[in-house]
Amino acid sequence: MITTYYLLHVIGLLLLTATSFSALGAPTPERRKKALMLTGILSLVMLVGGFGLLGRLNYGWPHWVIIKIACWVILSALAGLAFRMPKAKGLLSLIGMLALAVGVYMVYERPF
C-alpha cells in the first residue's frame, strides 16, 4: 500500500510540474480551462499520495512536512498565476523551480 501512495505522489508531482510549466510557457486563453482542470486534478492526486504516505509511515507533523505543503501550494498555484500574469512568467518559473528544489530537499534531508 505504501508503494501505491508513493507512486501517486511522485507521478502526480511529475505531471503537475509538467502541466504547470506548460501553462507558463504558453498561457493562451484557449488552453486555460483544460490546463486549470488538469492541474487541479493532478494537485489532488499528489495531495492524496502525500497524505497517504504520511499516514502510513506515521511521521506525524514534522516541520519539513509543513514546508513541503507550502511548496505544493506554490506549485499548484503556478498555472492559475500564469494565466493571470502572463508578463511575469520568468519570475513565476523561478518561483516554481525554487519550490520544487526546496520540496525535494525537504523530503530527502528532513532537516528539522
* 45-63 per-position pLDDT tens digit: 999 999 999 999 998 899 9
> What's the mean pLDDT in 77-96?
95
What number of other Cβ atoms are within 10 A of residue 28's Cβ?
A: 10
Tell me the pLDDT tens digit for each residue of 99-108. Answer: 999 999 999 9
Q: Does residue 39 register a pLDDT over 90? A: yes
Supply the pTM of this predicted model. 0.91
CA triple 98-104-108, angle to 5 deg: 145
What pLDDT is attached to residue 59?
87
Cα 12 from Cα 22, distance rounded (Å): 15
